[in-house]
Amino acid sequence: MSDTRRQIRTHVHANAGIHFNELVRESAFAPGQIQYHVRRLIDDGELVRGEFYGRTHYYPPTHDERERAMLALFRRETAREIVVHLIEHEPTGPGAVTDALGIARSTLEYHLDRLVEQEVVEKSYDERNRVVLRLANPEQTGELLSTVEPTVPDRLLDRFTRLVDGLLEGEPSSK
């Protein structure tokens, strides 16, 4: 295996779920070089490619499909903050999450739809028919959450969404 290919493999293994653009930004190699070596690594079974939410992500082959989807979600700052809030305050209602994170209900629902779809979060109803949120598998979620950090572009996208939500609601976002 060439040194370039080994460096790319090592970087993806250390940053499971990294998407292509971030891999290019964090490496000293040209996009074409990365594409070539990533393709070879996938063919050799050293990496796995996954398409989640409009982006191509790369993973070590040790992660199953569900873990890959979860890692892709955790690269988004808002989804990550929702999960962290639930770790610290579950069970809780959507209103408490939006208040604590300073996000619009529509932003929460956007991320919750994906978190529920990947069985990270469970939605249920209490005796008064109010929505209650809790983590579906706190141990696995905490373990995977600790392995990934949102990238700067993902943070900026989430913060821009919060700013727009705040402006549409008539109050600037504090985050």
Cα 37 versus chain centre, distance: 25
Please answer whether residues 40 and 115 qualify as being in contact, where contact means their C-beta atoms are separated by less than 8 angstroms.
no
User: Is the pLDDT reported for residue 151 higher than 60?
Assistant: no
Same fold across 3-63 and 71-169: yes
Location of structure tokens 């393709």: 39
- Over the chain, what is the mean pLDDT? 87
Average pLDDT over residues 134-140: 88
- Domain 3-63 class, CATH top level: mainly alpha
Distance CA(49)–CA(26), nearest Å, equals: 18
Q: Which residues pair with 135 in a beta bridge?
A: 121
Q: pLDDT class for 111, splitting at 50, 70, 90?
A: very high
Cα 83 versus chain centre, distance: 10
Residue 166: per-residue pLDDT: 67
pTM comes to 0.74
Residue 77: per-residue pLDDT: 83
33: tokens are 């070089």
Q: pLDDT class for 6, splitting at 50, 70, 90?
A: very high
pLDDT tens-digit map of 70-91? 999 888 888 889 999 999 998 9
Residue 5: per-residue pLDDT: 96
Please answer whether residues 72 and 78 qualify as being in contact, where contact means their C-beta atoms are separated by less than 8 angstroms.
no
Residue extents of the structural domains in the chain: 3-63, 71-169
User: Is the pLDDT reported for residue 130 higher than 60?
Assistant: yes
Count Cβ atoms within 10 A of the Cβ of residue 3 and give its class: 0-12 exposed, 13-18 middle, 19 or more buried.
exposed
- Domain 71-169 class, CATH top level: mainly alpha
Q: pLDDT class for 47, splitting at 50, 70, 90?
A: very high
Please answer whether residues 67 and 55 qualify as being in contact, where contact means their C-beta atoms are separated by less than 8 angstroms.
no
Location of structure tokens 């490619």: 49
